[in-house]
Amino acid sequence: MTTTEKIKQAIINFVKGGDNSDTILLNKVLHKDFRVTNNGFMGTSGVTIIDKQKYLSNIKDGIFGGLPRIMKIENIDQSETIAMVKLRLESSENSFVSYNSLVLDIDNEWKLINNLAVVDTKK
């Protein structure tokens, strides 16, 4: 598998994990220092940062995830041990633009370290 394919697979696993509320898959693909960063999160003002444990807890409790989404990877920019992936996601309820930072971790696996997203609720 090429580096680009490994990065793509990490993104696919991240999206699939969210769609299926699969915290085991998510735990594997998320770096220990993973953060979700959002500006205007769920209608709040300002920046919200959610750490890995809170994110996984929200997935488990059904606050996030559980809806299938159509994913389109728009760009992958990789340099040695870091990568940035821009993707668009559409569910029946929301549309997302998501910038995802990945790192090549010490176990030689690509892991998401930051998810910076804008979520628009469909009306």
What's the rounded Cα separation, in Å, for the pair 30 and 98?
15
Residue 123 vs residue 63, higher pLDDT = 63
Confidence band (pLDDT; 50, 70, 90) for 42? low
- Location of structure tokens 């993707």: 87
Instruction: Name which CATH class applies to 3-121.
Output: alpha beta
What's the rounded Cα separation, in Å, for the pair 24 and 116?
22
- pLDDT over 90 (residue 52): yes
- pLDDT over 80 (residue 41): no
Task: Output the pTM of the full model.
Answer: 0.91
The answer to whether the CB of 112 falls within 8 A of the CB of 102 is yes
